Chain A
């Protein structure tokens, strides 16, 4: 049965253009959209019930895979302590970790990293860089035990959403820097629950596509966190130009 399966896989990749997201099967075609992007499985699924069931199964399997990646490492926690557990979790997902007074530990291009940090049982983790990692709500379990975390970078994480932000309040005592640039699922509703993080000094909320009014949100977040430097949308973005700032077009006979 391997041969037909591999054939279908090939078919999917080619027809999809090589990119797959968690909702790759469900969001690809807009109603009345271009025919080119339809996959073989989609076409067959419209005509056969068992292919439809297969597609549902594949969708579910993608979700289960993500949850498996984000499971809590309870065994490691008991043996090595919370700091090592958090570090191992982040390194496995492809992020980078910095222990207090030590260098940044990053996995190389192959995804391998050295196991020296297993000796750092009592050394707290100072900074975590999880940019682009597939961390989600469940995975944050491993990070919330890092009580001395000062900098957390969740830039461009595809699965970080408002629920994850509402879970960050246990880090309020130590967190000083939070970077959320480019997260596709974070909206102004999640940003509203960052008010617990009173020690935050630097917050990056630029380029959040799900936020409906970036300029207004920026102002409201600044009001909410008075001691924090908020980097984000330029507040003048989206405002209409006043009459004196209109470009003077003297060449045309009829001017504004």
Chain B
């Protein structure tokens, strides 16, 4: 075995090493005439055989042709040859009998690969969506290596997975949001064409096409009408209802205080987010994306000074490596990457801070932080035997309280977004039942009289990746950290926009611009330019 390794050194080595090996017959002499220390001197009896082998090759292929050709093909000339050789020698020594080999050769299957073209931080709906579209839109199969890093494979705290209410609706005030929702609905409808994996059962989304009902009081009625006009222009099927029509259609509603209602007739409702996530994961795995469980702890970057358009100095950063730390251990793996996608949901702000976004004097582009932070939201499940019937849509009240039916057994799911002063502490996911008693139930009982008698069965809490600036998402590259892209910050409607946003980010990464839906209003630069995208109704 040693002889073979010797011969292979000479073939693959840097030109000089190979050539110096040719000259000496005597193995000892070789140590002197080559500058590289740590040349293996194990050539004892095998030395003669390998030099003859080399001679034959040399004669056959011309001097230096073999070594030079192979080294340029492999690009080996830039390797730290001596370090590699000593490492390899240590490994071989351990395999030899009499040495403890378990300590040297250990299982690294839990570690991510050392290099990856694209690293997606966050394996929730946004991360998987970006991975899916990157693999779908790449020009050649397996052209780019994609790695998805997530800190929790069980998704116990993921906002988009089991904790989500799962609603999807097109009733937004921004046309891009409406388009994103429409695209998501079309994707969900044809999910078994998009996510088909041979020999696997089809994805069962359990979509309830019951629609979404938004109620507006006097002061919001004009804004609602305007929004419905925009939604209709984009192709959403939404109709406006007066209080009398509302009472006729849904007799269980108390229309006191409602001036106008908008009702989505088609393509709106709710579905099982967990099965979507699992279906995406399965498909993305079959397309060749690598997964790793770990936490990103550090970015290794390099910066360069460039002159901006107004003549001022700008510091552009580029991420070269990131450190992925394993769970419950100090072991980490540096992963070399070309592009990093921040899809970490509620923790995106933390990841952005690690990359150095926001380190600078406030008011400058360098000092603009990513304003995404985790906010805790509660969802309550209650039982009400005389409640609204099978036709109940997802109802969003004027006060901000929302609810929907769950299953056939008179169970309902709902919650409310608290005001700024009442924001719960996001340090843990404990549920506050008093919040339901004081803030949610009175409004529910006022809007639906049948809810005066209800019994809370269970409740849970989850994080919103809350964008404190304008509660709309951040999509696209960062102007200063040139290879970090964002796909986060959608504050509660991420699940319905994720599929369209994933496609947009994949288009920017692969082709440089947004092709299908123009997401340029959602770029990071609006935080610096103080350009708010106000969205009317945040559930």
Q: Which residues of A contact B (CB under 8 A)?
A: 23, 25-27, 29, 42, 45, 52, 55-56, 59-60, 63, 137, 162-163, 165-167, 169, 187-193, 195-196, 212-213, 216-217, 220-221, 223-224
Q: Is the CB of B200 within 8 A of A220?
A: no
B307 within 8 A of A: no
Q: A169-B265, A189-B207, A192-B208 are in contact. Are A26 and B193 (CB under 8 A)?
A: no
A216 adjacent to B408 (CB under 8 Å): yes
The answer to whether residues A45 and B408 also contact, given A189-B206, A190-B209 and a CB cut-off of 8 A, is no
Interface hub of B201, B209, B265 (most chain A Cβ within 10 A): B209
* Interchain CA distance A196-B249 in the complex, whole Å: 9
List the A side residues contacting B422 at CB < 8 Å.
Answer: none
- The answer on a CB contact under 8 Å between A188 and B196 is no
Q: Quick one: closest A residue to B197, CB to CB?
A: A26
Instruction: Check B198 against A220 for contact (C-beta < 8 Å).
Output: no
The answer to whether A192 and B202 touch across the interface, beta carbons within 8 angstroms, is no
Which of A29, A45, A56, A137 sits near B196, CB closer than 8 Å? A56
- Contact call A195/B207, Cβ cutoff below 8 A: no
Pairs A-B, 8 closest by C-beta atoms: A166-B209, A195-B391, A189-B208, A220-B390, A192-B390, A55-B198, A224-B390, A193-B209
CB A60 to nearest CB in B, in angstroms, measures 7
Among A29, A189, A221, contact of B209 (Cβ-Cβ < 8 Å):
A189
- A/B interface sample: 30 pairs, CB < 8 A: A23-B202, A45-B199, A60-B193, A60-B196, A137-B189, A165-B209, A166-B209, A166-B267, A166-B269, A167-B266, A169-B265, A188-B390, A188-B408, A189-B210, A190-B209, A191-B390, A192-B209, A192-B390, A192-B391, A193-B209, A193-B210, A195-B390, A195-B391, A196-B265, A212-B408, A216-B408, A220-B390, A223-B390, A224-B390, A224-B391
From A191, which residue of chain B is reached at the shortest CB distance?
B390
Assembly CA distance A86 to B119 (angstroms): 50
Query: Is B211 on the interface with A (CB-CB < 8 A)?
Result: yes
Among A27, A190, A224, which residue has its beta carbon within 8 angstroms of that of B202? Answer: A27
Q: Once the chains bind, are B390 and A213 in contact (CB under 8 Å)?
A: no
Q: State whether A193 and B211 are in contact (beta carbons under 8 Å apart), knowing that A45-B198, A56-B196 are contacts in the complex.
A: yes
How many residues of B are in contact with the other chain, CB < 8 A?
25
What's the Cα separation between A187 and B197 when bound, in Å?
24
For A26, A45, A137, A212, the residue with the greatest tally of chain B CB atoms inside 10 Å of its CB is A26
Q: Are the CB atoms of A220 and B202 closer together than 8 Å?
A: no
Residues in B220-277 with C-beta less than 8 Å from chain A: 265-267, 269
Contact B408–A26 (Cβ < 8 Å): no
Chain B 206-220 interface 0/1 with A at a Cβ cutoff of 8 Å (1 = within): 111111000000000
- Give the chain A neighbours of B391 by CB distance below 8 A: 192-193, 195, 224
Contact residues in B for A169 (Cβ distance below 8 Å): 265-266
Residue ID in chain B nearest A67 by CB atoms: B193
A52 in contact with B390 (CB, 8 Å) = no
Do B199 and A42 touch across chains, with their CB atoms under 8 A apart?
Answer: yes
Interface membership of B512, Cβ < 8 A: no
Contact A59 B389 (CB under 8 A): no
Chain B residues with Cβ below 8 Å from A212 are 408
